[in-house]
Each structure stands twice: as structure tokens, then as C-alpha cells.
Amino acid sequence: MSHLLGAGMDNSAMPAQTVSSSLPGSPSSAGPSWRGVLASIDIGSNSFRLEIGQITRGRYRRIDYLKETVRLGAGLDADGVLSEEAALRGLACLARFRQRLAGIPAKQLRAVATQTLREATNRNAFLARAGEALGHPVEVISGREEARLIYKGVARLQPSDRQRLVVDIGGRSTEMIIGVGATPLQAESFHIGSVSLSMQYFPDGWFTAERFRAAQIAAGAELEEALAQFSHQNWVEALGSSGTAGAVSQLLAASGITDGAITPTGLQWCIQECIRAGHQDALKLPGLKPERRAVLGGGLAILSTLATQFDIEALQPARGALRQGVIFDLEERLAADRDPAHHDLRDDTVVDLQQRFRIDVAQARRVQDAAARLYQQVQPRATLDHQRELGWAASLHEIGMMVSHHDHHRHSAYLIGHVDAPGFSQNQQRRLADLVLGHRGGLRKVEAALADTALAWQGLALRLAVLLCHARSAPEQPLPSLAADGRQVRLTHTADWARQHPRTLHLLHGEVEAWAKVGAVRLQIVQTG
């Protein structure tokens, strides 16, 4: 059965389950198309979740919801290597999700991964396999970006003008956000979660008072730096999003301890029940799902620490979570693709970074315009995503000038790869960093990245644009023309242009040599007239 979600109508805090209905455009459905249907996948440290919904006139209707307990985070060893066993569990889940997603256009789906894959040293190998299993790329998002998207999901499905704290305890991270209305004011991610804390302090499933105290001390040490930023003086109500908060809320309500609010008294009761049971297998509480037992100890330790340190008298279960936030963010991106005047947070982020790092905006615009024209000549069927990606790289290619003019492309790449950039995934930031790193100098340093054909064409356009604008003035029109035949690229200029631009021509011949050394593109310069 479908669920109509609006203010006061979300079921995000549901227990692990599957919600199913016929999908628009599927053989069993009478629906004519996938219009307005969006999907998100949250690849979490404890669970994987698939959400399919439809937005009509601003209202959100859930079509399908799938959740599987995968325990991906439990597969990380001390060196940050994700085990093959955990990887296979995750890949099998994604393959099942792929079946449910059959027919949905790729642009209407986004899959994001969180803390476990932020930590995993072998994440790239897993991401490649995950993309194959799902039939769609998987993006890793930063902790702060995860926090922003969590808040977006809560704010949209549970609107309020009150200043509030939103907490999301995941498997290996905890996100905390203070916001008003749709605007997050503070957002942070902390490296502590129900899976990681349970593995450390309750590895064999045994509960004792001493273990709970040790887990609470560890949680307190991690969260201590947030005391001032997230002080009770900065909010008037507190909400708990997603898994841990939802599970404990249901447990308390089913046991008749509270009406679902997570209170200090209720948390102490839960901890005492765990200690009384002794072992997770002996823990039998109303509303507690079997798959939640192994991570309950760590989750309770974090919740009780939050309640104590931040003076939370009642943490109410929130409607909305990361998966819905991803859908609402995707909705905005698609609207911006249809209408450039529509808001896309990533454009705002680029402008903010230009201002913060005092970029020469006029030069950035010259390079951006030249790169776009050149790119269109060699990739006339390029996706809008790749076109916009090239534009962002051109806009930020000199961000490293704030650090030093010498090797500024290296500084630029580092900053783009590591700066907080709302709206961008870590994958996108790495692509932009590769493009910016390769915009000048030799290409050996980005040779591995150039194996990506799309990035190679973007890199060529950016390098040529920077070269043509090297005098920091608009290049005379028309620009030399580009024509591509496979990986062969011909740059054609007139004899008159060559006489007027000897320095530029010299640089272009150096460009031929640079590309010849890596072989990603074979550049040839031809003079006419």
C-alpha cells in the first residue's frame, strides 16, 4: 500500500520492513509513466534503504520502501579495509534493489554512501562493484553533506519555524544539525555510531553496567567538542531521525514507558533492561526487532550521552531522514536542469567558494566560456552533468592562488578535494579536483584519471581554454576550431591568427607534446590559409 506523506504523515521511523506498491511504468501498473517519480538509496553502515516516491504539487507520496540490515560497517578491520564477506552482503542487497528499480530513468535515481565507505581504504574497488551490481553509480558523501541532507528530509516532511536540533545516529557516525525552517544553521558529523560502539564495547553481546559506563565515556569524548555549538540554548526542540532513534522510540512506546519520546528516564530503563537480560540474545522487549539487538547497546550509550551532555529532556522521533533528503535534493537538481533560473545548491557553493578564496571571477568566466565552446565542438552530445561539471572546474581552477601562485593548480586540487562543498558528493569533488590538477603542466599526474573518457575530453577543453586565455583577457574571436575523430583531435587555426598570437601558438605546440606522453587524446595542430 502506498503512503501519502505530507506534514505529519511520514513513516520514516518505521521498523525494518518493506513497503510495496506497483510502480508507475512497470508491467503490473496502470500508471502511464515515471513522471515525477524519484528514487534514492542510502548505503548506510548498518542498513541499506531504498525509497521510491513521487512529488506532485509539492506533496510527497511514498511508492516503495525497502530496507535490509547489511552491517557493512561491521566489515571494516582496524586498518580500514572492508572485508569481502561484508562487501558481498552489500552487493547482493544492491542487486535486489536493482530489480525493484527496473525501468526508472537513471537521472531520477541517486545512490549515496556514508561513513563506512568514507573510511574504507578499498572503497574505490567496492564502489566499482557496487555500480555494476546496482546498474547505477554510487556516490560517497561527506559527513556534513549527509547532515545537510538529513535536515532537508526532516524539514520538508516535518516543517516548523521553531529552532530545533536534529540528531541522526547511524552505524558509524552521528550527525547533529541545528536549523530553522528549511535552513540548517549548524551541521556536523561525528565518528561514532551504534555499530562501531557496539563492536568496541559489546563485541560478544554481553551487557554490564561497566561496559555501558565505558561506552558512554567514549561517546562523551567524541561529542564533547560539540557542547558549545549544539548547546540547549541554541534550540527549543529536539528530533531523532532514522534507525537508532526510531528503534528506541518504538521500544519505549511498545513497553508503555513513554508515548514514543526518548527521555533520560526511558533510556535508563532500557539500559537496565539490557543489564538485567545479560546478553543480547536474552533481550526480549516489545517493539525490538531481532536485527537491532546487536547494535542496541552502542545506540543506547550514544543516546544517553546526548541526553546528559546536551540537556535533552525529550527527543521526539522525526519524520524524514537521509533518503528523503536525497530525493528532495534530486528534485531541485532536476528542476535546475530544466530551468537554469531554478536554484541548484552546487551553483551557490561555487559562487561562495569564489568569494571566500578571492578568485578572479572575470578570468574564471573567460575560461568557463572558452571551455564550454571548445567542449561542445568535440563532445556535442555530452550530458548536462558533464557540461556543468566542466563549468564548475573552470570557475574554481584558480582557487589555489589564495595559497600560492607557484603550483597553484596543486593547491587548487587539494582545496577542491577537501573543502566543505554543500551539494557536492565526495566523488564529484574528486573529479573536479582531478580536472583542476590537470589544467596546467604535465599530464602524468592525472594519467590514471584520464582513463575516464569523459574526464579526458573535459580536461582537454579546460586546458585549451586556460591556454587561450593565458593573457587574462578575452581571446579574440573566432577561437581556433576543434574537431574530433575518435581519440584524434584536430585544432585548426589560420595563418593570420598565428601571426597575431605567437605566444599562444607556442603554448599550443607544447600541449601537443603533453597529450602525446599520456595517449589519452592525440592532439594535432593544423594551419590553414
Q: Give the pLDDT mean for 100-124.
A: 95
Q: Give the pLDDT mean for 240-261.
A: 94
- Given this model, what pLDDT does residue 33 score? 65
Omega into 478 within 30° of 0, i.e. cis? yes
Q: Is the pLDDT of residue 10 over 70?
A: no
End of a domain among 108, 142, 176? 142
Of residues 479 and 52, more confidence is placed in 52
Look at residue 352 and tell me if it is in a domain. Answer: yes
| Same domain, yes or no: 199 and 270 | yes
Q: How many domains does the chain have?
A: 3
Q: Is the pLDDT of residue 12 over 50?
A: no
| Same domain, yes or no: 269 and 307 | yes
Whole-angstrom distance, CA of residue 166 vs CA of residue 150:
8
Q: Which amino acid is at 59?
A: R
Look at residue 33 and tell me if it is in a domain. Answer: yes
pLDDT band at 340 (very low <50, low <70, confident <90, very high): confident
Strand 163-169 to strand 237-241: parallel, antiparallel, or no bridges (unpaired)? Answer: parallel
pLDDT tens-digit series, residues 25-54: 443 443 446 778 999 999 999 999 999 999
| Same domain, yes or no: 93 and 196 | no
- Given this model, what pLDDT does residue 1 score? 31
- 215: Cβ contacts below 8 Å, ≥ 6 apart: 197, 200, 201, 202, 297, 298, 301
- Given this model, what pLDDT does residue 24 score? 47
* Nearest residue to 172 (alpha-carbon basis) of 147, 197, 153, 155: 197
End of a domain among 434, 458, 477? 477
Look at residue 199 and tell me if it is in a domain. Answer: yes
- Given this model, what pLDDT does residue 506 score? 93
User: Mean pLDDT lowest for which of 22-31, 152-161, 419-428?
Assistant: 22-31
pLDDT band at 529 (very low <50, low <70, confident <90, very high): confident
Instruction: List the CATH number of the domain containing 358.
Output: 1.10.3210.10
Q: Give the pLDDT mean for 352-372.
A: 96
| Same domain, yes or no: 135 and 174 | no
Helix axis angle for 408-418 and 426-437, nearest 10°, is: 180
The DSSP code for 15 is P
Strand 47-56 to strand 315-317: parallel, antiparallel, or no bridges (unpaired)? Answer: unpaired
End of a domain among 113, 142, 171? 142
| Same domain, yes or no: 220 and 130 | no
What 3-state DSSP class applies to 331?
helix
pLDDT tens-digit series, residues 439-476: 999 999 999 999 999 999 999 999 999 999 998 888 87
Q: Give the pLDDT mean for 314-325.
A: 95
Look at residue 517 and tell me if it is in a domain. Answer: no
| Same domain, yes or no: 439 and 368 | yes
Q: Is the pLDDT of residue 7 over 90?
A: no
What 3-state DSSP class applies to 527?
strand
Instruction: List the CATH number of the domain containing 274.
Output: 3.30.420.150
- Given this model, what pLDDT does residue 27 score? 37
Look at residue 329 and tell me if it is in a domain. Answer: no
| Same domain, yes or no: 244 and 380 | no
Q: Is the pLDDT of residue 504 over 60?
A: yes
Q: Is the pLDDT of residue 408 over 90?
A: yes
| Same domain, yes or no: 354 and 437 | yes
| Same domain, yes or no: 31 and 137 | yes
| Same domain, yes or no: 138 and 222 | no
Q: What is the mean pLDDT of the chain?
A: 91
pLDDT band at 243 (very low <50, low <70, confident <90, very high): confident
- Given this model, what pLDDT does residue 26 score? 46
Instruction: List the CATH number of the domain containing 51.
Output: 3.30.420.40
- Given this model, what pLDDT does residue 13 score? 34
Helix axis angle for 264-277 and 209-223, nearest 10°, is: 140
- Given this model, what pLDDT does residue 267 score? 97
Of residues 9 and 154, more confidence is placed in 154
pLDDT tens-digit series, residues 428-437: 999 999 999 9
Q: Considering the chain, what percentage of its residues have pLDDT values greater than 70?
A: 94
Q: Is the pLDDT of residue 16 over 80?
A: no
Look at residue 355 and tell me if it is in a domain. Answer: yes
Q: Considering the chain, what percentage of its residues have pLDDT values greater than 90?
A: 85
Q: Give the pLDDT mean for 66-95.
A: 96
Q: Give the pLDDT mean for 253-266.
A: 96
- Given this model, what pLDDT does residue 15 score? 35
Question: Is the separation of the CB atoms in 177 and 238 below 8 Å?
Answer: no
| Same domain, yes or no: 99 and 163 | no
Domain that holds residue 23: 3-142
| Same domain, yes or no: 79 and 27 | yes
Look at residue 334 and tell me if it is in a domain. Answer: no
Look at residue 330 and tell me if it is in a domain. Answer: no
